[in-house]
Copies of this chain bind each other. A is one copy, B any other.
């Protein structure tokens, strides 16, 4: 049971942008600091833009930054927006997967379990994830003078 790398990188990109506060981040920084694939990060940043989590400032001194305050970015929502497939078994995708689907109790058990997973993440915002602000900035090599976004 694994979330995709897209979701992984999306969460890291958002945490990086939040740790930067009001300052702009670049894709190159995110790629370099986390040591992750540039191609994936570009796709993920594009998608986070489409979904209204990040905004892109164009030009020579451009970059990306959060489009909303970290306290207004819900982690359960980010996971739902980034995962292409939240059906943990094929039977939750649509009809015709399994012979017993008409009376299957397992199907509703799996639906409840998935909802419990997502509900737990609904209890966190990006602000919660970036609360150890100084430690996070230090580990990410972000300068201390970057003004926090929401504080």
Contacts and interface: CB of A to CB of B under 8 A. Distances in A.
Contacts of A130: 105
Interface string A1-29: 11100011001100100000000000000
Contact of A136 (B1, B35, B103, B129): B103
Contacts of A113: 116-118, 120-121
Given A109-B75, A116-B119, A88 B139 contact: no
How many A residues are at the interface, by size bracket? Answer: 35 or more
Contacts of A147: none
A105 B129 contact: yes
B103 A139 contact: yes
B135 A89 contact: no
Contacts of A123: 109
B1 A88 contact: yes
A38 interface: no
Interface string A26-66: 00000001110000000000000000000000000000000
A83 B110 CA distance: 14
B15 A135 contact: no
Contacts of A83: 1
Nearest to A101: B139
A81 to B, nearest CB: 13
Given A100-B136, A113-B117, A113-B118, A106 B11 contact: yes
A102 B139 contact: yes
